[in-house]
Amino acid sequence: MKGTFLIRMMLAVVSMLTIACSNDETVQANAQSTTATGRTLVAYYSYTGNCRDIVSELTKQLQADVVEITPVDKTQKYEANGYAIGTQLLNTIKANPNDASSYPAIDPVSANLANYDNIIIVTPLWWSQMAAIMQTYLFQQSKQMEGKHVGLIVSSHSSGISGVVKDAKRLLPDVIWMGDALHISNSNRSNTSSLLQNWLQTLNFKQNDTETQTMYITIGNATQSVTLADTKAAQELAERLQNGPITVTLSSSGGFEIWGSLGFSLTSSNEQMTAKPGDVILYNSSNICIFYGSNSWSYTRIGKIDGLSESELRSFLKAGENNIQVTLSLSAETTNIENTVISDDMSDTYYTLGGVPVEYPSHGMFIKRGKKVVL
């Protein structure tokens, strides 16, 4: 159904130029978050691949949407002739920083910042300054970022990042900085994973203002919890489920999802995104898609399955099969989970309600030492 679009998107990414001053480029990812925060967006610009790699690692540790900032003119070699073009762009901005025409043109960005509480900026350093392309994005979105909690990651070869931090504070004077900027350079790049892990623990993320609601998905004898998104569609689905469980028939599609008709429509609030493993998505108002892989499209969020790895999701969702009976409910107790309790394992291993071992459980209901536990 949507596989052709995914292939086109992948080809477009591969064809984009790799360039620049601090070695950086693109990814759209998601991950398991260890903290219950408000919705988070990662916005990045990358020229040679390093920022792409940082974002890829970051989204293994933090649940977030990702948007790439790209220039309209993709033919420029910013590093040519001793970085003459890149330096010219920076000098033009420096001469008239309040003039929109001073900033190089970028492609339209689909992410609506009103949907996010926290924003993490990942940018390369150009000659001790923030890359001009990222400066354009922050200049254009400054008003929309007012009051947001913002973090900054800077990638460079070896130069210090004080100039980039100064640029960020000039461009975003009214945000709430979540903590100190993280500097990833060639000397510590091999430690990116641990650097990000330690840095994330220091950030002051804005927490959700509203109580999250949980839905349960049952397939066969297995049940897994879903944290519902703060969307009208999720709210409407929860209201319908108050009248009792709903069973739908879904089938595998594209090697990344199971999907099918809900039998009724919900309110769409579509945005271009890359859905990731565990995402529960509304498509065309009346179809539910549950992902065990990834795909880029215009979707409305419903929620996210808690605590399962990609391989565990594939097993739970019966990836590759068709005519899968899927029951949605607001209570795990409606799924006869008593029959799934594993009574002969007294280890500290966590299991899904269907008996699948979980290496790193996060939020949801699990079995441990033969008893149901909620994390």
- What domains lie within the chain, and their CATH numbers? 16-200 (3.40.50.360), 214-338 (2.40.100.20)
pLDDT band at 308 (very low <50, low <70, confident <90, very high): confident
Answer yes or no: is pLDDT of 238 > 80. Answer: yes
DSSP code at position 360 = S
The strand pair at 40-44 and 118-126 is best described as parallel
Rounded mean pLDDT, 103-128: 92
Tokens of residue 119, six digits = 């924003």
351 close to 224: Cβ distance less than 8 angstroms: no
* Distance (Å, whole) CA 128 – CA 161: 6
pLDDT above 90 coverage of the chain, percent = 56
* pLDDT tens-digit readout, 36-81: 346 899 999 998 889 999 999 998 888 889 999 999 988 888 877 7
pLDDT at 301: 94
Rounded mean pLDDT, 132-149: 94
- Please tell me the total number of residues recorded for the chain in this structure: 375
* Distance (Å, whole) CA 236 – CA 253: 25
pLDDT at 313: 93
Which residues face 309 on adjacent strands?
none
Tokens of residue 366, six digits = 């699990």
Buried b (16+ CB within 10 A) or exposed e, 76-99: bebbeeebebbbebbebbeeeeee
Q: Which residue has the higher pLDDT, 17 or 287?
A: 287
* Distance (Å, whole) CA 130 – CA 135: 7
Rounded mean pLDDT, 348-355: 61
- Reduce the DSSP state of residue 317 to 3 states and report it: coil
pLDDT at 119: 95
pLDDT band at 19 (very low <50, low <70, confident <90, very high): very low
pTM of the full predicted structure? 0.51
Neighbours of 217 (CB within 10 A): 21
* pLDDT tens-digit readout, 23-32: 333 333 333 3
* pLDDT tens-digit readout, 150-201: 999 999 988 899 999 999 999 999 999 999 999 999 999 999 999 999 999 9
Mean pLDDT, rounded, of the chain:
82
DSSP code at position 126 = E
